[in-house]
Structure 1
Amino acid sequence: MPVSTLVHITYCAKIISELEPTSVLDIGCGFGIWGFLSRYCLDIVPGRVNPDSWQVRVDGIEVFEPYIQPHHRALYNSIRIADVRDVADALDPYDLIIAGDVIEHLDKEEGHKVFERLYGKAVKGLLVNIPIGPGWEHPEAHGNPAELHRSQWEIADFDAYPSVCKEFELPCGKYASFLFKPNVPIHERVEWLQGRAHCYEAGGNGGRALECMRIAHGLDASDAKATLFLVDLLIKGQEWSEALQALEASLVAAPTFHYARLTMARLLKLRSRPQEAQACIETLLASDDVPPEIATDALALLEEVRKQ
């Protein structure tokens, strides 16, 4: 919508100031609140009051041209009239990209795709402000078909990306501001997802924990802790085939992950597949640099399998 709730403005203004971006892209300008705040926090507050002295590049994208008024032209360096779905891939990198009340106006699949593209263009941070859960239905308005809310989002929809999330409670429902840190190394994303998964599991939400670990394993199948956590969750859910597939993928990514092969053999034995279990153990024992404790366990398991 051209305007939004104000409950998160102070919080987001603090983020903008602390990031100190030299370039800002406001997706879905609407009334222009994010352009105003960016200009105020990054140029006016530091003392560059005269527009001739402004140093920060503040650009915008707006799908509905009638929203753009003279004050937009005064505050923004440039405003592009376009649908973000059409231009996201070709955007320049920006230190800070702000998507305020934008993603819920897209279908869920489109929203995820746009988020991915914006995340890839942000240098210092991607700030996403979005309604959470039910209670935020919004029709077409002001002659703008894009005002319709086409999707509902939850905090968990953004689990795959390390972020700082601030939640707000409003009479109509929950609202959240996410600051996503871009260019996060894969191992940090995997650790983040493991942390989220542990929280979900502790709260009794094994399904969400499993989804987090599937994403983590897809990012880095060689990560031992992530693999074993995923396999444990899959076994608890009796997803035997997927557990074996996860172990196989880890061994392709990390052939010296000997404990994964031992775990695979145990799982094959458990599923009454002794010949495959025996072959798995023999491959393990023929490998180089197998730790003594794993070799001992493998020999004991081999005896059990032969009796099966």
Structure 2
Amino acid sequence: MPTSDVEGKDWSLERFKRHQPKTVCDVGPGEGTYAKLFRPAHHGVWWTCIEVFKPYIRRYGLKNTAKRKDMYDEVHNLDAREAPDHLFHRDLVIFGDVLEHMARGDAIDLLRKAEAAGAWNILVSLPIVPSEQGEVDGNPHEAHLHQWDPDDMDSVLAELGGRVEAMRGSTLGCWWWSRRP
């Protein structure tokens, strides 16, 4: 769904405030959960999003227009797996409830791509309990294709090097990977 459970959001916001990124790429923002939560906490941040499902861009007001400033300064309608590397060269790349929507190998490749492109921090949030889901509102990208085990995500992020902090809730797990040890 284009929404996210509230679990882990306070934990994520604390890390956002601590790291104070100046540039953010939100992958698969849906309704813009993280922009709504983080933007008021730290001004002067350049927000980019990569949204695969074009109808969400208009439905959730992700794109700026001449008449209003919305959540994102820069909006890209494409599959993040095919996005140019420079979009991941940010202080923070957010994968908020998005990696479960692709095969495990694709998700790992995407995390590696973000790290290799120069992401300083990566935030991951995903279900850690069984959460079957198919197409939602005509969006085939909403289907859950992989059920992540929290220990598996710990291992995947540890392989990137750097520092990993994790929060395991009752339904969601959140990880903050940082290039800085």
TM-score normalised by length of structure 2: 0.85
2:173 equivalent to 1:176: yes
Larger helix percent: 1
Higher gyration radius (CA): 1
Q: Distance in 1 between matches of 2:128 and 2:174?
A: 10
Which structure 1 segments of 5+ residues have no match? 44-54, 185-308
State yes or no: 1:68 paired with 2:57. yes
Unaligned runs of 5+ in 2: 64-69
**C-alpha distance in 1, partners of 2:180/2:16?**
18
Once residues 19 and 183 of structure 1 are traced to their aligned partners in structure 2, the CA distance between those partners, rounded to angstroms, is 11
Q: Whose RCO is larger (CA < 8 A, sep 6+)?
A: 2
Matches within 5 A, 1:47-86: 55-69=44-58, 71-73=61-63, 74-86=70-82
Tell me which residue corresponds to 1:87: 83
CA gap 1:157/1:41 in 2 versus in 1, 3 angstroms: same
Q: Per-residue CA shift, 1:74-94, capped at 9, x if unaligned?
A: 121011000011115343510
2:133 is equivalent to residue 138 of structure 1: yes
Residue type of the alignment partner of 2:7:
V
Contact 1:124/1:182 (8 A) holds in 2: yes
Structure that is richer in strand per residue: 2
Alpha-carbon distance in 1 for matches of 2:131, 2:14: 26
Give CA-to-partner distance per residue, 1:100-157, whole Å, 9 cap, x none: 0111100111111111112233543100001124x21111111100000001111222
Report the RMSD for the aligned CA atoms in angstroms.
Answer: 1.7
Contact 2:89–2:119 under 8 Å retained in 1: yes
Which residue is 1:32 aligned to?
Answer: 32
Q: Match for 1:153 among 148, 151, 162? A: 148
The answer to whether the 8 A contact 2:25-2:94 is kept is yes
SS of residue paired to 1:75: coil
Give per-residue Cα distances to partners, 1:176-221, cap 9 Å, x unaligned: 000011265xxxxxxxxxxxxxxxxxxxxxxxxxxxxxxxxxxxxx
Give the secondary structure class of the aligned counterpart of 2:38. helix
CA, structure 1 residues 59+116, in 2 after alignment: closer, same or farther (shift >3 Å)?
Answer: same
Structural mapping, 1:126-275, within 5 Å: 126-133=122-129, 135-158=130-153, 159-160=155-156, 161=158, 162-169=163-170, 174-182=171-179
**After superposition, what is the alpha-carbon deviation per residue over 1:193-252, rounded to whole angstroms, capped at 9, x for unaligned?**
xxxxxxxxxxxxxxxxxxxxxxxxxxxxxxxxxxxxxxxxxxxxxxxxxxxxxxxxxxxx
How has the CA–CA distance of structure 1 residues 6 and 122 changed in structure 2, closer, same or farther, with 3 Å as cutoff?
farther
Counterpart CA distance in 1 for 2:62 and 2:83 is 20
Q: Which amino acid aligns with 2:114?
A: L
After superposition, give the CA deviation of every residue in 1:263-283 in whole Å (9 maximum; x if it has no partner).
Answer: xxxxxxxxxxxxxxxxxxxxx
- Could you tell me how far apart the structure 1 residues matched to 2:120 and 2:85 are? 18
Tell me the distance in 2 between the aligned counterparts of 1:76 and 1:38.
12
How far apart, CA to CA, are the structure 2 residues paired with 1:66 and 1:2? 11
